[in-house]
Amino acid sequence: MAIIKQVEIAGAGVYPSTRLNQRERKGIQVSNAFVPATPGDWASVPTTLDTALDTLASTLTDATVQVTVTTAWDFSVNGGAVSSIPLSVTLPDNAIVLEVIADVITQIVGAGTIQLTVPTDTLSLGTLSSADTVLPKDVSPATPKKITANRVLQATIAGAVVTAGRIRFHIRYILGE
């Protein structure tokens, strides 16, 4: 289906594209960028919208597109032992990480630190400790970091056990060559 000059918005009628606000136009541009998927298009059918969007984002090939993916470390789900814990996001080969924002939802409790890492590439994308408050914090690397293959992000707990906390990481990247 192609949207050329007009679009029907929520059954309210047909409007010329010039009368759409910027958010509606962006939504239409994004919807035109992907062919409708069938269950056969997925290695495994996504269980949530976030999972589906992360999967689509990891398949983009246009280096001019900035992609933001999110993942979370949660003590009640992932535990707090000194270890490396795989998270739910895979960064694609040649992703160049530009920015990482950590949204501390529940403050970290314990003497350990939590570091967002890319295994095998030995990249640290940011570190948090119990001193970090519940405000979002920019933990971006000092310089952009390039991923050398598809990599699952990890939360690495170091130094000591963490006994509570929840952090949502927002990772912005572009695709290099």
Where residue 72 sits, what CATH number does that domain have?
2.60.120
pLDDT at 168: 94
Q: Is residue 36 part of a domain?
A: no
Which of the residue ranges 7-21, 43-57, 82-96, 137-151 would you say has the lowest mean pLDDT?
A: 7-21
CB 169 within 8 A of CB 101: yes
Q: How many domains does the chain have?
A: 1
Q: Which amino acid is residue 34, in one-letter code? A: F
Which of 19-23, 60-64, 127-131, 161-165 tops mean pLDDT? 161-165
| Closest by CA position to 99, among listed 128, 129, 66 | 66
Q: Is residue 17 part of a domain?
A: no
If one compares 29 and 177, the residue with the highest pLDDT of the two is 177
Q: Is residue 127 part of a domain?
A: yes
* Confidence grade of residue 44 (pLDDT, cut at 50, 70, 90): low
Full residue range of the structural domain in which residue 110 is found: 60-175
Q: Is residue 101 part of a domain?
A: yes
Q: What is the pTM of this model?
A: 0.64
Give CA separation, 43 vs 49, 55, 159, in Å. Answer: 16, 10, 37
Q: Is residue 24 part of a domain?
A: no
pLDDT at 58: 61
* pLDDT above 70: residue 164: yes
pLDDT at 161: 95
Q: Is residue 29 part of a domain?
A: no
* Confidence grade of residue 8 (pLDDT, cut at 50, 70, 90): very low
pLDDT at 29: 42
Q: Is residue 18 part of a domain?
A: no
% of the chain surpassing 90 pLDDT: 45
Q: Is residue 22 part of a domain?
A: no
